[in-house]
Amino acid sequence: MVQQLRKSITTLAFFAISATAAAQAPSAPLTLRPDAPERYVVVPGDTLWSISQRYTDSPWRWPELWGLNKDQIRNPHLIYPGYVIMLDRARGQLTIGGPAPARPTESGSVKLGPRMRVESLAKEQIPSIPAAVIEPFLTRPLIVEPDGLDKAPTIVGTQADRVILATGNSAYVRGIGASKEETWYVYRRGVPLVDPDSNQTLAYEAIYLGTAQLERGGEPATVKLTSSVQEVGAGDKLVAAGRPQPISYAPRAPASNIRGRVISIHGGLGKVGEAGPQSIISINRGARDGLEVGHVLALYTLGGSVRDVSKADATIKLPDERAGLAFVFRVFNRVSYALVMTVTRPISPLDVVQTP
């Protein structure tokens, strides 16, 4: 009875469409893929994005595909491995069906399929996008406001007056105070992130140096460097590690028209010149511009200029060309991080991002 009630509530939730969501829906009808499955069993490793791509080439229109209202878009903890997704082609919407039925094998025995469970499945919920790719960008700041590290705890002395600290060395830190945080990240302020349109410094990259463990509180406190990827020394800053926040917002287009630029590209051991699928980009738009976690932006390669053969000493500006999609997963005030999901051509710094 409890299982049936929970299944009914979940199904009803997917059918609830708020007037606000309906008013903001694009006028063009949502197009389903011709090979979209009528029935799909969710498996570990699926994401909201990958499931949406099975059914439509416009994954940012996920709310329409499911009929989600605003609250569900921001907290879609509704899909878990073992759930069965059913496609209603007439309505162009997906719903959650019952658990996969048991299937007899050739020997006559019954092979059990996935089942609905009453207990909490929070640890297994389907994320929006691949969590492993963006995990470092969730647990570490990586972008700081111009004065963001000024008041952070600071390494003021080193064990045995070492100039450079390595893993296992201790350091003395001023500013930790009475904090109970045990694990800290070590940073140094890096290069400025400059808005290519206004030429203003929006923020700074924070260079991750390593991890430190608090050994003794006080002023100064003592920490031990437990890992390091670069040299650490006096003057470097500490930021509490905290806990990563899972990205579970449903993919969706911004409600307003947003247009910005790619500032930089991150990948592998550092910056790279071009972005492909699963690359992380920083863009010159943030919370103050209306960007939110879960927003999907279209990527355009910046159109260049060519000589106008019909006029002397004249050029023609070529149009920007659609090149892919990116999912915004972390938002600061003036800068955001986005994961490149699909591309048809490489993305470079200064390329355009905008509402799809």
Report yes or no on 252 lying in a domain.
Answer: no
Whole-model pTM: value is 0.71
Q: Which domain holds residue 319?
A: 259-354
Q: What is the pLDDT of residue 289?
A: 94
Q: Which pLDDT score is estimated for 323? A: 92
pLDDT in tens, 236-292: 999 888 766 556 677 889 989 999 999 988 864 344 578 888 889 999 999 999 999
Indicate if 287 and 207 belong to the same structural domain.
no
**Can you give the pLDDT at residue 296?**
95
pLDDT score, position 113: 38
Is 352:302 a contact under the CB 8 Å cutoff?
Answer: yes
312: CATH: 2.40.30
At 312 the pLDDT is 75
Alpha-carbon span 316 to 108, nearest angstrom: 72
Residue 108 lies in a domain: no
Residue 154 lies in a domain: yes
**Domain end call among 207, 240, 273:** 240
Please give the single-letter amino acid code of residue 125: Q
Domain boundary among 177, 212, 240: 240
Do 26 and 122 share a domain, yes or no? yes
**In a shared domain, residues 17 and 122:** yes
Q: Is residue 254 part of a domain?
A: no
Mean pLDDT of 221-246: 84
For residue 264, tell me if it sits in a domain. yes
- Check if the beta carbon of residue 352 is closer than 8 Å to that of residue 320: yes
Q: Where are the alpha helices (DSSP H) in 34-153?
A: 48-55, 62-66, 70-74, 131-139
Q: Do residues 91 and 189 share a domain?
A: no
Query: Could you tell me where the DSSP H helices lie in the chain?
Result: 2-15, 19-24, 48-55, 62-66, 70-74, 131-139
Residue percentage of the chain with pLDDT more than 90: 27
Evaluate whether residue 105 is within a structural domain: no
Q: Which residues contact 141 (CB under 8 A, 6 or more apart)?
A: 148, 185, 187, 206, 239
Contact 320, 300 (CB under 8 A): yes
The answer to whether residues 214 and 264 belong to one domain is no
Helix, strand and coil in the chain, % to nearest 5: 15, 35, 50
User: What's the rounded mean pLDDT across residues 317-342?
Assistant: 90
- Is the four-CA dihedral 270, 287, 140, 299 of positive or negative sign? negative
141 with 87, same domain? no
pLDDT at 189: 85
Q: Give residue-wise pLDDT tens across range 38-47.
A: 999 989 888 8
Dihedral sign, Cα of residue 53, residue 56, residue 62, residue 68:
negative
- Closest Cα to residue 55, out of 84, 93, 99, 29? 93
Do 207 and 187 contact (CB within 8 A), yes or no?
yes
pLDDT digits (tens, 9 = 90+) for 139-192: 666 777 777 788 889 999 888 778 888 899 999 999 998 888 899 999 988 888
120 shares a domain with 33 = yes
Cβ contact 96:78 at 8 Å: yes
Together in a domain, 275 and 189: no
Kindly state whether residues 163 and 185 are assigned to the same domain: yes
Looking at the structure, tell me whether residues 80 and 158 fall in a common domain.
no
Whether residue 343 sits in one domain with residue 282: yes
Least reliable range by pLDDT among 68-82, 98-112, 194-208, 222-236: 98-112
Q: Which of 11-20, 102-111, 203-212 has the highest mean pLDDT?
A: 203-212
Residue 58 included in any domain: yes
Task: Tell me how far apart the alpha carbons of residues 331 and 355 are, in angstroms, rounded to a whole number.
Answer: 16
Q: Place 31 in a pLDDT band, splitting at 50, 70 and 90.
A: confident
> Is residue 214 within 8 Å of residue 168, measured between CB atoms?
no
Nearest to 209 by CA among 221, 223, 226: 226
| pLDDT for residue 326 | 95
Total of domains in the chain: 3
The answer to which of 60-64, 199-203, 305-309 has the lowest mean pLDDT is: 305-309
3-state secondary structure of 21: helix
Give the CA distances from residue 33 to residues 52, 59, 92, 96, 255, in Å, rounded to whole numbers and listed in that order. 10, 11, 11, 19, 25
Pair 152, 120 in one domain = no
Please classify residue 122 by burial: count the beta carbons closer than 10 Å to its beta carbon, then call 0-12 exposed, 13-18 middle and 19+ buried: exposed
Mean pLDDT of 89-105: 68
pLDDT tens column, 62-96: 888 887 766 666 656 567 888 888 898 888 888 87
CA distance 64 to 83: 20
Cα(250)–Cα(294) distance, rounded to whole angstroms? Answer: 6
pLDDT reading at 126 higher than 50: yes
User: Which pair of tokens denotes residue 75?
Assistant: 């907290």
- Residue 192 inside a domain? The answer is yes
- Between 253 and 28, whose confidence is greater? 253
pLDDT band at 4 (very low <50, low <70, confident <90, very high): very low
Instruction: Supply the pLDDT for residue 352.
Output: 94
For residue 241, give the nearest of 191, 185, 196, 157 by alpha carbon.
185
Q: Quote the Cα angle for 294-85-87, to 5°.
A: 95
Choosing from 91, 126, 161, the residue where a domain stops is 126
What are φ and ψ of residue 313, in 5° steps?
55, 35
Contact predicate 80/44, CB 8 Å = no
